[in-house]
A and B are shown apart, each in its own frame.
Chain A
Amino acid sequence: MTLPLDNHSASSNGCSSPTIQSNNPHLSNGEGEGEGSNGSNAAAGGSSNSSSSSRSDSENASGSNGLCRYPGQPQQTSRTCLRDSPYSEEQVVRLIMQELHDRGFVDTLNHLQKESGFTLEDEPTARFRASILAGEWDQVKDALLSIGLSSEENKNAALFAIKRQQFLEMLEERQLKQALMILQNELTTLTQDIPQLHRLSSLLMCPTPEELRIAASWDGSKGRSRFQVLESLQSYISPGKMVPVHRMETLFDQAIERQCDVCERHVISAGHDLYSDHSCASSVFPPELQINLKGHEDEVWYVAFSPDGQYLASASRDKTCILWSTSDYSIVHRLVGHDGEVSYLEWSPDSSMIVSASNDKTLRLWDVATGKCKNTYTGHEETASSCKWLDDERFITGSLDQKIIIWSTNGLLVKQISSPRVHDMVVSVESSLLLAADNNSSVHVYDLSTLTFLYKLEEPTTIMSLALSSNSRYCLTELRTGSLHMWDLETRTRVRDFSGHIQGGYVIRCTFAGLDDRFVATGSEDGTLFVWSRSTGRLLERLKSHAKSINGCAWSKQVSALATASDDKTICIWPAYHGAPSDISRNVAGQSSRSETSLNDTDDRSMMSTV
Chain B
Amino acid sequence: MGYMLKEFLSAPSIYGCLQCQTHLARRDSVISRTFQGRLGRAYLTETVVNGRLGELEDRLLITGLHTVCNLYCRACGALIGWRYIRAHDKSQGYKEGKYVLEQSRIYAIDGGME
Contacts and interface: CB of A to CB of B under 8 A. Distances in A.
Interface of A: 299, 301-302, 317, 341, 343, 359, 382-383, 385, 400, 420-421, 423, 439-440, 464, 505-508, 525, 549, 551, 567
Contacts of B4: 505-507
B1 A400 contact: no
A501 to B, nearest CB: 13
Counting chain B CB atoms within 10 Å of each CB, the highest count among A317, A439, A440, A549 belongs to A439
Nearest to A464: B5
B2 A299 contact: yes
A591 B4 CA distance: 39
B110 interface: no
B94 interface: no
Query: Ordered nearest first, which 6 A-B pairs have the shortest CB separation?
Result: A506-B2, A301-B3, A507-B3, A343-B3, A551-B2, A506-B4
B55 interface: no
B6 interface: yes
Nearest to A424: B5
B89 interface: no
A495 to B, nearest CB: 26
Counting chain A CB atoms within 10 Å of each CB, the highest count among B1, B4, B7, B75 belongs to B1
B23 to A, nearest CB: 10
B78 to A, nearest CB: 15
B2 A439 contact: no
23 contacts: A299-B1, A301-B2, A301-B3, A302-B3, A317-B3, A382-B6, A383-B6, A400-B5, A400-B6, A400-B8, A421-B8, A423-B5, A439-B7, A439-B8, A464-B5, A506-B4, A507-B2, A507-B3, A507-B4, A507-B5, A525-B2, A549-B1, A551-B2
Nearest to B76: A359
A75 to B, nearest CB: 78
A46 to B, nearest CB: 73
**Majority SS of interface residues in chain B?**
loop
A106 to B, nearest CB: 70
Q: On chain B, which size bracket covers the interface?
A: 10 to 19
**Majority SS of interface residues in chain A?**
loop
Given A359-B75, A464-B5, 16 more contacts: A299-B1, A299-B2, A299-B3, A301-B2, A302-B3, A317-B3, A385-B5, A400-B8, A505-B4, A506-B1, A506-B2, A507-B4, A507-B5, A508-B2, A551-B2, A551-B3
Contacts of B2: 299, 301, 506-508, 525, 549, 551, 567
Contacts of B5: 385, 400, 423, 439, 464, 507
Contacts of B1: 299, 506, 549, 567
Contacts of A420: 114
Contacts of A382: 6
A111 to B, nearest CB: 73
Contacts of A440: 114
Nearest to B4: A506
Counting chain A CB atoms within 10 Å of each CB, the highest count among B4, B5, B6, B7 belongs to B5
B86 to A, nearest CB: 23
Given A400-B8, A421-B8, A506 B114 contact: no
Interface in B1-44: 1-8
Contacts of B3: 299, 301-302, 317, 341, 343, 506-507, 551
Nearest to A340: B75
A317 B5 CA distance: 14
A382 B4 CA distance: 13
Contacts of A383: 6
A346 to B, nearest CB: 15
A246 to B, nearest CB: 54
A383 B76 CA distance: 13
Contacts of A505: 4
A507 B5 CA distance: 7
A567 B8 CA distance: 25
Nearest to A385: B5
